[in-house]
Structure 1
Amino acid sequence: MIALFDLDGTLTDPKAGITRSVQYALERLGRPVPDADELTWMIGPPLIAGFTELLGGTDDAQDAVRFYRERYGDVGLFENEVYSGIPALLRDLREKDVRLYVATSKLQVFARRILDHFGLSRFFVEIYGSEPDNRNADKRDLIRHILDEERFDPASAVMIGDRKHDAIGAKANGITSIGVTWGYGSRQELLEAGAACLVDEPGDLEEIIARGAFLEDTRPTSPIGKTSISR
């Protein structure tokens, strides 16, 4: 079995670093600065897409991304914390010979620094992210790139993430997805995007991934522990 993990909102809670860096970018642009809680929707989508929506167009979006990265690359990426239960989950999956990868829209260099900082890099075969020119920021492109590089069968893999972009990217590449509810996407968002099931706690993921429970032909809301399997 192969498991692709999103980073923000799935492995770590990046709210402080991301929202503060968005606020910094808006300040640099001379734009109104919303409260942090009004910016959590920016956690998950590709950064350029988020700023394009936030600013109402593309004119200032590239500058906003540059300003954002200016702060985020210095302090923002470490204003972050690992979700409880994640290190144990990754360790247990590795012990069951599940091959683990990171698939994040975040810049690959930032993702590596974060995972190194928290001691999580050792669990992953490889860490994949976007490039400074926004290549592979879209999860559909990123997962396609991973398949091209790693050459594994999509039917043997699962994508785990907290936002619709994870489920959409997985579906576009023939991969099943699991939505996690401790991040920043709603249950409705994840199910409508095509997630095969929803998981409420990291500890519930091990059994589901290791035995392929997400592939079972279940019907709406069949419980596995505290996990909802929904089709």
Structure 2
Amino acid sequence: MNNAAPAVLFDLDGTLVDPAGGITGGVSHALSVLGLPVPPADVLASMVGPKLSDSLAALTEAQEHQIPELIAIYRQWYAEHGIAMSRVYPGMAELLAGLQSASVPLAVATQKPQTLARTVLAHHGLDGFFGTIAGSPDDETLRPGDAGYRSGKAEIIAAALAGLGLERPGAAPAVMVGDRSHDVHGAAANQLGCIGVAWGFAAPGELEAAGATAVVHSAPELLAQLSLPVPLKETAHGTL
């Protein structure tokens, strides 16, 4: 970016936190419990980021009526095992601390259910960095047409911007940081640029094809791309 952004929005899984098998393992478990085929590893990995109910419908052999039960089984496994498997990507806690110390407004915009997103962030001690945390409805069984259903990342990013007091798209510069094409497209729908992170779950070339402003490979490279006057910070995770 050429201009400093007064607000930075972050995706969660694949951007701030590595699920480290906590998501794919949970999906595999849920499908197995119902006797459904488990997709190959690359297909499971592609389910990290998008709305879970949509991915189950599109990428597995689950029938529509089975999706609520699959989600319930998955969430129980994830709560008992998956969250503990996750880890913060190197340098990201320190980057957040530096941005916060420079009074940069920060938000999370994730397709993870909102309450669960808060739980994951709190587990890693990251929740205090963010002025707002926007996610999908906690009721993951909602389908298109249901009241409260958010159709995609664009609506979640809009909610995050509103939480920071930036309700009008384009009213003030801001940037999204994410690891999948839907982060890029959701940002564009809100008149924001999106910096892609290469350590997440995008297929090769996915972020570039979607129109990411840049693709970075480390937290220091991300900080440099943001072009913000942020000091190095020490946290429990180390120093950036």
| TM-score interval, normalised by the smaller of the two chains | 0.7 to 0.9
Partner of 2:120: helix, strand, or coil?
Answer: helix
More displaced stretch, 121-130 vs 163-172: 121-130
Q: Which is helix-richer, 1 or 2?
A: 1
Q: Within 1, Cα distance between the matches of 2:220 and 2:204? A: 18
Q: Counterpart of 1:121?
A: 127
CA RMSD of superposed structures (Å): 2.0
Among 10, 21, 25, the alignment partner of 1:20 is 25
Among 60, 64, 70, the alignment partner of 1:55 is 60
Task: Report if the CA contact (8 A) 1:187-1:198 is conserved.
Answer: no
Q: Within 2, Cα distance between the matches of 1:171 and 1:141? A: 12
Task: Report if the CA contact (8 A) 1:77-1:110 is conserved.
Answer: no
2:175 is equivalent to residue 158 of structure 1: yes
Partner of 1:104: helix, strand, or coil?
Answer: strand
2:108 is equivalent to residue 102 of structure 1: yes
More displaced stretch, 200-209 vs 170-179: 200-209
How many residue pairs are counted as aligned between the two chains? Answer: 212
TM-score by length of 1: 0.84
Among 151, 172, 180, the alignment partner of 2:197 is 180
Q: Within 2, Cα distance between the matches of 1:162 and 1:94? A: 22
The higher relative CO (CA closer than 8 Å, separation ≥ 6) is in 2
Change (3 A) 1:124 1:106: same
In the TM superposition, what is the alpha-carbon distance from 1:36 to its structure 2 partner?
Answer: 4.6
Q: Within 2, Cα distance between the matches of 1:143 and 1:180? A: 17
Task: Report if the CA contact (8 A) 1:107-1:131 is conserved.
Answer: yes
Q: Counterpart of 2:71?
A: 65
Q: Counterpart of 2:51?
A: 46
2:83 is equivalent to residue 77 of structure 1: yes
State the percentage of identical aligned residues.
41
Q: Counterpart of 2:232?
A: none
Partner of 2:21: helix, strand, or coil?
Answer: helix
Change (3 A) 1:137 1:93: farther
Instruction: Show structure 1 runs of 4+ deviating over 4 A.
Output: 34-38
2:97 is equivalent to residue 91 of structure 1: yes
TM-score by length of 2: 0.81
Task: Report if the CA contact (8 A) 1:130-1:137 is conserved.
Answer: no
Task: Report if the CA contact (8 A) 1:161-1:167 is conserved.
Answer: yes
In the TM superposition, what is the alpha-carbon distance from 1:149 to its structure 2 partner?
Answer: 3.6
Q: Counterpart of 1:203?
A: 220
Q: Counterpart of 1:215?
A: none
Among 31, 34, 43, the alignment partner of 1:29 is 34
In the TM superposition, what is the alpha-carbon distance from 1:196 to its structure 2 partner?
Answer: 0.9
* Paired letter, 1:47: L
Q: Counterpart of 1:144?
A: 158
In the TM superposition, what is the alpha-carbon distance from 1:34 to its structure 2 partner?
Answer: 4.2
